[in-house]
């Protein structure tokens, strides 16, 4: 029986990742401030690092961990210290606390964002910096944990349709973005969960320290190409 822990596994893409891992037979523990229904859960506020350390210093009934997934998001107003605590410090603390519990071929997957490389003016500076830093965190731990057989990779979603999006929002997002995506559709949370599940499998046993974009190819396009696609859509 494989034990998987999904930080932020009770909201958004995290719920879909949790369901994906459960569907293949994993026992999944979600981590968030409050539980979302039945299932295994570790309740902790990621802003409270002392409590995070305490929660992961002893895992009770959990003997070993096969997979660790980070899909948390700071949902505040762009406060730099809080964003850094939730996205970076808590990730560091949880990884290092779980080192004694990881199986020899364990996998860690971190959800990043295309805004770790590009700029979305509607989001804060702290959001952008924390996502860029997550990718460097992944590279650092890939090297430092490699001798233990522990892999770590980053899944980088573009704009995707999430479970909490209303039908109106889904239609608006699809209309706005579909024409700019080389694969001619908008991504879904299931697409992201599929990439996470790949990294949480033996099929990725010789891959570590990598960031994989799940954006339908949008990040490959030049500014000129994007402008042409938008102009064609509006004409």
Instruction: List the chain domain ranges.
Output: 3-165+186-218
| pLDDT at residue 36, as a whole number | 67
Which one from 29, 74, 127, 141 is the annotated catalytic residue? 127
The answer to whether residue 29 is catalytic is: no
pLDDT above 90 (res 91): yes
pLDDT above 70 (res 234): no
| pLDDT at residue 78, as a whole number | 80
**By the 8 A CB rule, do 235 and 179 touch?**
no
| pLDDT at residue 1, as a whole number | 74
| pLDDT at residue 38, as a whole number | 74
Q: How far apart are CA 233 and CA 95, in angstroms?
A: 45
Name the β-bridge partners of 68: 5, 108
| pLDDT at residue 85, as a whole number | 97
pLDDT band for position 148 (cuts 50, 70, 90): very high
Lowest-confidence region among 95-109, 118-132, 204-218? 118-132
pLDDT above 80 (res 35): no
pLDDT band for position 101 (cuts 50, 70, 90): very high
Task: Find the helix or strand (DSSP H, E) in which 27 lies.
Answer: strand 27-32
Name the β-bridge partners of 188: 161
**By the 8 A CB rule, do 28 and 38 touch?**
no
| CA triple 142-146-103, angle to 5 deg | 110
| pLDDT at residue 177, as a whole number | 80
Q: How far apart are CA 9 and CA 153, in angstroms?
A: 18
- CATH code for the structural domain at 3-165+186-218: 3.40.50.720
**Is this prediction's pTM over 0.85?**
yes
Nearest to 193 by CA among 67, 74, 47: 67
pLDDT above 70 (res 5): yes
pLDDT above 80 (res 153): yes
**By the 8 A CB rule, do 89 and 49 touch?**
yes
Lowest-confidence region among 103-112, 196-205, 215-224? 215-224
Lowest-confidence region among 12-21, 73-82, 129-138, 195-204? 73-82
| pLDDT at residue 2, as a whole number | 93
Average pLDDT, the chain: 91
Where do we find the tokens 């990718």?
135
Where do we find the tokens 């409590």?
51
């Amino acid at each position: 029986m494989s034990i998987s822990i999904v930080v932020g596994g009770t909201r958004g893409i995290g719920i879909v990742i949790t369901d994906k891992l459960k569907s293949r037979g994993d026992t999944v523990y979600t981590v968030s401030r409050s539980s979302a229904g039945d299932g295994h859960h570790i309740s902790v506020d990621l802003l409270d690092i002392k409590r995070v350390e305490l929660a992961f210093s002893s895992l009770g009934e959990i003997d070993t961990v096969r997979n660790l997934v980070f899909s948390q998001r700071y949902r505040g107003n762009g406060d730099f210290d809080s964003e850094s605590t939730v996205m970076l410090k808590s990730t560091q603390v949880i990884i290092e606390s779980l080192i004694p519990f990881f199986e020899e071929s364990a996998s860690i997957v971190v959800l990043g964002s295309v805004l770790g490389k590009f700029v979305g003016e509607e989001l804060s500076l702290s959001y952008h910096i924390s996502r860029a830093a997550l990718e460097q965190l992944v590279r650092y731990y890939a090297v430092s944990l490699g001798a233990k057989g522990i892999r770590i990779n980053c899944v980088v979603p573009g704009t995707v349709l999430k479970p909490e999006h209303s039908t109106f929002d889904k239609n608006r997002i699809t209309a706005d973005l579909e024409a700019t995506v080389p694969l001619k559709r908008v991504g879904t949370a299931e697409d992201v969960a599929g990439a996470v599940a790949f990294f949480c499998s033996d099929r990725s046993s010789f891959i570590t320290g990598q960031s994989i974009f799940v954006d339908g190819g949008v990040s490959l396009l030049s500014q000129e190409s994007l402008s042409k696609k938008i102009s064609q859509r509006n004409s």
